[in-house]
Chain A
């Protein structure tokens, strides 16, 4: 029986040469901002492999240390990070991940998607030299709405982790939400999460080669976005990606993490779901971040 071939069969095509090496990439995004869709889209390309959350879904470490600042100076090649001093298993796992991702090369571009990396780009750049970052953004109102509907805020420890960091980033913020109004407080906390992470990204991304992609642009006019993504990752366009977008946006289907979402759902659901009061709270929070002094993001 002769061997079969198919477009998805990404078998080796050439031996590794020094100029074939490619930096690994990180797709970073706030929770519920379309990163599964972009991850799946990237993986549709025959030359790209994008691991799904190897930091936050394959170890607890990064979820538990979400929003803690890890800087380049914290990295050392053996211990990796001071927090890992008593975590030999996590060190071994991360070392294997590093070794794997640094094999990224022409014809097999390796990267990963993750959400618990805000505040850790400095360390990640030292951990994975040359790391390129794709930052996927989404309208804060749509993110907050999706976070609330997915009921994942407690899994991500928002109530414990986010407000203290937000208070450092935006010390001038005064909440108008009554402490006993739990529902509105949840909206405020989710908005703070977006504000804090986007502020951290704003400060950290300048030091790395990066590309910012807005989910709304990818939804409304995908081809220019695809072109930019291909150029950024150093790959030729793949016709399968355009087909993938058309298919995945044709209807809403599947579970909570499905990448089948109609354009209407992506863009309009938050309008149907959030009340005027909730929108005002989100607006307050996002406004406070815009007015925060730049240095506030470097919290202790």
Chain B
């Protein structure tokens, strides 16, 4: 199964962010981490079954979560029909764990904006400035859930689902004025979120402890 991971890493797109903070060249995963990839990583890392009362990484307590632990086989698994859908239910720590196993990391929010816009500060959406339609992205409940990664037109860098499908955990704290920051920045809109979340500039903060139905993972690698 490791070849799936190697292929995923190989397909990352080279990019040089031209942003407000210093940054070197990076490679950006062309899709969100799929359920298939997440399952392989969780098994390679031998992440144990989550507790029945509280999870550490994967929200197995949501009955719709595509990832589950097969107690008999002692392995993580995903629903077959959702193998190529982006993985959700991973909290920020799990997102970081997956990225690290793949040799990468979570993007900084400014890096995310740079690669989503291809360094074009005037661009509103990854595809340009035309208003969103459900042919361009999965948002506003048009599809009622996640969709197979790569179902919508890619950006000119060849990156899929930058707007919609799932939001994307970023490395940054969201609310840095909080006495003890506990929220991380999420970018990129989601299948159930409204059109305004598809804007490159839009950010939301989410309590990092939880894995939700609308947030996934896109690793980047320092080149």
Q: In the complex, which of the residues B18, B20, B175 contacts A12, with contact meaning CB atoms closer than 8 Å?
A: B175
Name the residue in B20, B61, B121, B200 with the highest tally of chain A Cβ atoms < 10 Å from its Cβ: B61
In the complex, chain A residues whose CB is within 8 Å of the CB of B8: none
- Could you mark each residue 19-62 of chain B with 1 if its beta carbon is under 8 Å from any beta carbon of chain A, else 0? 11000000000000000000000000000000111111001011
Q: A73 an interface residue at 8 Å Cβ cutoff? A: no
Pick the interface stretch among B67-75, B150-158, B177-185.
Answer: B177-185
Contact A8 B61 (CB under 8 A): no
Interface presence of A230 (CB below 8 A): no
Contact B175 A8, beta carbon cutoff 8 Å: no
Contacts of B144 in A (CB 8 A): 253-255, 258
Return chain B residues, CB-CB under 8 Å to A61. Answer: 53-54
Most buried by A among B19, B56, B182, B213: B182
Q: Is A299 an interface residue (CB 8 A)?
A: no
Stretch at the interface among B77-85, B95-103, B201-209: B201-209
Within 8 A of B (CB), among A1-22: 1-16
The docked-state distance in angstroms from the alpha carbon of A168 to that of B78 is 42
Residues of B within 8 A of A52 (CB): 212-213
Size of B's binding interface in residues, CB under 8 A: 52
Contact (Cβ within 8 A) B203 A59: no
CB B197 to nearest CB in A, in angstroms, measures: 6
A1 touches B178 (CB 8 A): no
CA distance A4 to B51 in the complex (A): 41
A218 CA to B131 CA, complexed, in Å = 29
Contact with B along A11-54 (1 / 0, CB 8 A): 11111100000000000000000000000100010000101101
> Which of B18, B19, B62, B114 has a CB less than 8 Å from the CB of A58?
B62
Docked CA distance A57–B59 (Å) = 8
Quote the shortest CB–CB distance from A294 to chain B (angstroms): 34
| Mask: chain B, 149-179; 1 = CB below 8 Å from A; 0 = not | 0000000000000000000000000111111
Give chain B residues whose Cβ lies under 8 Å from the Cβ of A254: 141-144, 192
B113 to chain A, nearest CB (A): 6
Pick from B18, B142, B174, B210: contact of A54, CB under 8 Å: B210
25 CB < 8 A contacts A-B: A1-B17, A1-B20, A1-B121, A4-B113, A4-B201, A5-B201, A6-B203, A7-B196, A7-B202, A8-B203, A12-B175, A12-B176, A49-B207, A57-B59, A57-B61, A58-B62, A59-B55, A89-B53, A93-B53, A103-B179, A155-B63, A247-B140, A254-B192, A255-B144, A259-B192
* Partner-B contacts on A (CB < 8 A): 1-16, 40, 44, 49, 51-52, 54, 57-61, 87, 89-90, 92-93, 96-97, 99-100, 103, 105, 108, 155, 240, 244, 247, 253-255, 258-260
